[in-house]
Amino acid sequence: MLNVLRPAVTRVLTPLGRALANRGVSPDVITTIGTLGVVISALVFYPAGHLFAGSLAITFFVLADLLDGVLARMTGKPSRWGAFLDSTLDRFGDAAIFSGLIMYFVLRDEPEILLAAVALFCLVAGTLVSYAKARAEGLGMEANVGIAERGERIAVILVAAGLSGLGVPYILAVGLWLLAAASAITVVQRMVHVYRQAVVR
């Protein structure tokens, strides 16, 4: 879904990318700032119960995930190091988002341990989704399949948390349960896809 939207978002970010490129800003700097913004926003706003403000702040910094790629193309500096840095720092951002939500559930006056556990499962399953793809590519195969890639997972949790912060009842719980199921299914889809490439052929 987000891959369809990516070209439109890239066009919107192009003028900003051009301005940054003219000032000699490195794509790696944008990647790092974006991750720091996500981590700080998630770990400050979410545990304090400011779900809507936190989701807005995180969304702003998540856009750096697209801006660094735009900037790399404009500066002619796309690199394997940049790709590695981007993917690695993405894991920090994901961990911060779900850790912030886990703290939110645990630190409430009436802790919601079940939802904290579901959020933890989403974090672990999301990491497995990314690992399955990386490991497959390391073995010379590909695993770019599944119903819940990183973009979709982040979009779901940010929308659910943001709407919950606006007072929409049960939306965060529903979002987490759906995300947990979708992430688990995606792990299985990628395992089956790699199995077919490695064994069936």
pLDDT tens per residue across span 120-166? 999 999 999 999 999 999 999 999 899 988 888 999 999 999 999 99
Active site residue 90: yes
Query: Who contacts 45 (Cβ-Cβ below 8 Å, separation ≥6)?
Result: 51, 53, 54, 57, 100
> Residue 2's pLDDT is what?
53
Q: Among 28, 65, 86, 90, which one carries the catalytic annotation?
A: 90
State the CB neighbour count (10 A cutoff) for residue 114.
12
> Residue 187's pLDDT is what?
95
* pLDDT tens digits along 153-193: 999 999 999 999 999 999 999 999 999 999 999 999 999 99
CA angle 174, 180, 182 (to 5 degrees): 100
What is the C-alpha separation between 118 and 112, in angstroms, rounded? 10
Residue 4 has pLDDT above 70, yes or no: no
How many residues appear in the chain?
A: 201
Record the tokens describing residue 166, joined without a space.
Answer: 């606006």
Report the C-alpha dihedral over residues 66, 3, 162, 45, rounded to 10 degrees.
-30
> Residue 201's pLDDT is what?
62
What is the C-alpha separation between 115 and 104, in angstroms, rounded? 10
The proportion of the chain whose per-residue pLDDT surpasses 70, expressed as a percent, equals: 94
Contact at 8 Å (CB) between 101 and 156?
Answer: no
Radius of gyration of the chain (CA): 18
